[in-house]
Amino acid sequence: MNKLIWGSLIGFMSGTIPKNEKFFEFPTWFSNRAFRQTGYLYRISDEIVILIN
């Protein structure tokens, strides 16, 4: 639940993920962004990197 809240909140504030968008379900418009998943690292844009425990 914390992952979903942090992902949605940070993404919404940065304008990368729409409000109420599930963080674990990556839509098609998100797939073309620079994205890399290494255990707990989510790079959702050129400036934003989310670290998840």
- pTM > 0.75: yes or no: no
**Per-residue model confidence as pLDDT tens digits over 13-50:** 455 544 444 444 444 444 444 444 433 345 555 455 55
Number of domains in the chain: 1
pLDDT of residue 39: 35
Range of the domain at 43: 2-51
CB proximity list for 10: less than 8 A, separation 6 or greater: 17, 48, 50
CA dist list (Å): 31 to 22, 42, 47, 52: 14, 12, 16, 19
